[in-house]
Chain A
Amino acid sequence: MSILVDKNTRLIVQGITGNEGLFHTTQMVAYGTKVVGGVTPGKGGEWVLDGKLPVFDSVKLAKDATDANATIIFVPARFAPDAMFEAADAGIPLIICITEGVAVQDMMRVRNYLDQKKVRLIGPNCPGLLTPGEAKIGIIPGNIAIPGNVGVVSRSGTLTYEVLYAMKNLKMGASTCVGIGGDPVNGTNFLDVLEMFEHDPKTEKVIMIGEIGGNEEEKAAEYIASKMTKPVASFIAGQTAPPGKRMGHAGAIIEGGAGSAADKIRALEAAGVKVAKHPEEIPTLLK
């Protein structure tokens, strides 16, 4: 058991013929992920990876031919919203968008549309999913994590790698690692993933890696305090970041001053979460 992705997940890759798409498809296949095809409009009928994977012109065609149940998006930011709409319309229930730099108004439209369709989106601007020993959907280097019972959820990409790597060095394994992405509007939040980990029999402990901005860590703290039975350790990045130059009052009115690292750490500690001083210390807090 694991969450979101396992060895039976049938994955297609949107943007499979691009530089990043091809590189990471190769890595995912090598890791054992069941990649069943890819999409690049205009290149339908071609084959990649030495003729092993078919390329289709659209997500719909790819889904009809391969019965895919997940898609990963590697297309440039200006085309990513369209790719997400297309995947949702084709009936793919799980979308992982790696692309960084998607415009926020596009993301609000995408998120609201996907919610109506009951489609789960991970990202954008995220490293994707890794269930060690089974499958990975994304760009997390496979060799930095080993299978285990710790669920990892993070807003950051490379910072997640740090933590997985530190865990491995302590022989601590992960059930599933979920990179939810750092954009202001994304598909899946801490709360969603914490709920999944709480209900996943394979996950016994959880690591949550947050950062400054927004109030998702505070919401997660409320959930941890009220509902969660499994122990959680955390790290919040940006404790020394200078306050952003701000203009206009709307941001302050909406967020009401929340979002600093100190606020988040306080909320998490009050919920019984152990908060690390640096990322390599996190796994030791769960020993």
Chain B
Amino acid sequence: MKLHEYQSKTIFSKYGIPIPKGRVAATAQEARQVAEELGGRVVIKAQVLVGGRGKAGGVKLAKDSAEAEQLATQILAMEIKGLPVRKVLVDEASAIDQEIYFAITNDRAVRKPVMIASSSGGVDIEEVAAKTPEKIVKVHIDPLLGLREYLARDVAASIDLPREYWKDFIKVAMGLWQVYKETDATLAEINPLVITKDRKMIALDGKMMIDDNALFRQPELNEMRDTDEDAPAEIEARKYGLSFIKLDGDIGCMVNGAGLAMTSMDVIKLFGGEPANFLDVGGGAGAEKVSAAMRIILTDPNVKAVLFNIFGGITRCDEVARGILVAMDEVKPKIPMVVRLVGTNAEEGRKLLENAKMITAETLADAAKKAVQAAKKGK
């Protein structure tokens, strides 16, 4: 789950990381009011959950509160990479001397959290990383020990941060470690972390991503979720614990297991079809989950055929079959359905579906071919 800049920075601030004075605003009038409170010179920043908003014109400097209102009006009317701007952050403008990049994230290859830092922070950091990797410092953190100050000091020294700022930097690093750890973040990023002309260190921008698997112990963060970028079907799917991504094709897919779900898409494509979605009903999916999955797939008007590919392990095919029957009864779909049940209790499952007028298949290749044919006929 991604957090907005304003949400991330509010969290940073709670953990002692200095952030600019400012507030989020949903209307241009509100933005003007915040600008007035801050003394006029402010930055108006679009709050959308995509990168590159600065380059898209979503970040503007206003010299007074009247201009702040005008710019906020513009930005609030924008769409950035398909996402509507519903809020702007109005921050006091800072006079910047240096931009630093600093983040803590998971390094899956090393199985440890890693601090990433560079004295060449700012919007082009990925280019810096690609072209001059020596300018990027990476220091791993022992997850059992946590971040110790000496490691943060090592980072400060390795990015050639002047000694007078080491103390400030260590405070930011220790704060960001606490943020990362206590919010179950998979990313806590400050870019840029600036040194201002009056020699203060401030987190000018912030991005955070939270581990969805840890949301059970992060109820406050869960409430911050912005569902703007998710299709309604994806939101509905999440309610039932289904993993669903909408795609542009015409063959609906319901599969158990992410790897097999991806593979089913690959095989549909291999035989000339286009998947309408990725849908993993998960391990041990019962009838309720399965019928929810089927309803979600069938709400997509593009879907001309549905492929069920269930290989039972922890999931029992008879349970899935029951779910399919419940959903068929509710939705009464008029499009062809290809079903393939193999593995745990497959025999029982197939018996349950005998009278359901579905196309059956033995192998995955066979199932995919039949689904592709059925979808073509339905056009």
A residues adjacent to B (C-beta < 8 A): 20, 24, 27, 77-78, 98, 100-109, 111-113, 127, 139-141, 144, 154-162, 165-166, 182, 184-185, 209, 211-212, 214-216, 235, 237-242, 245-256, 277-280
Contacts and interface: CB of A to CB of B under 8 A. Distances in A.
A162 B283 contact: no
Contact of B125 (A78, A112, A249, A278): A249
Nearest to A239: B266
A112 B282 contact: no
Contact of B209 (A20, A113, A156, A247): A247
A104 B112 CA distance: 10
B143 A108 contact: yes
Contact of B143 (A112, A212, A239, A277): A112
A240 B275 contact: yes
A106 B214 CA distance: 9
B247 interface: yes
Contacts of A245: 50, 229
A159 B211 contact: no
Nearest to B366: A280
A125 to B, nearest CB: 8
| A-B pairs with lowest CB-CB distance, top 8 | A156-B259, A158-B257, A103-B214, A158-B260, A250-B105, A159-B259, A184-B108, A238-B262
A264 to B, nearest CB: 13
Question: B interface, how many residues as a size bin?
Answer: 35 or more
B181 interface: yes
Contact of B364 (A100, A101, A102, A278): A278
Interface of B: 2, 49-51, 101, 103, 105-109, 111-114, 116, 125-126, 129-130, 136, 138, 142-144, 181, 184, 186-187, 189, 191, 207, 209, 211, 213-214, 216-217, 229, 245, 247, 255-260, 262-263, 265-267, 269-270, 275, 278, 282-284, 311-315, 342-344, 363-365
B345 to A, nearest CB: 9
Given A103-B211, A105-B143, A248-B187, A98 B114 contact: no
A248 B2 CA distance: 10
Contact of A156 (B125, B191, B260): B260
Contacts of B342: 144, 161, 165
Contact of A100 (B101, B105, B247, B283): B283
B52 to A, nearest CB: 10
Contact of B313 (A112, A161, A211): A161
Given A182-B259, A254-B105, A280-B364, 10 more contacts: A77-B216, A104-B106, A104-B186, A108-B106, A112-B111, A127-B314, A154-B259, A158-B260, A248-B187, A250-B189
A158 B311 contact: yes
A157 B130 CA distance: 35
A102 B213 contact: yes
Given A105-B143, A109-B143, A111-B111, A185 B106 contact: yes
A254 B314 CA distance: 34
28 contacts: A24-B314, A103-B214, A104-B186, A105-B184, A108-B113, A141-B312, A141-B313, A141-B343, A144-B342, A158-B256, A158-B311, A160-B259, A161-B313, A182-B258, A238-B263, A241-B265, A246-B51, A247-B50, A247-B51, A249-B129, A250-B187, A250-B189, A253-B136, A254-B114, A278-B266, A278-B270, A278-B364, A280-B365
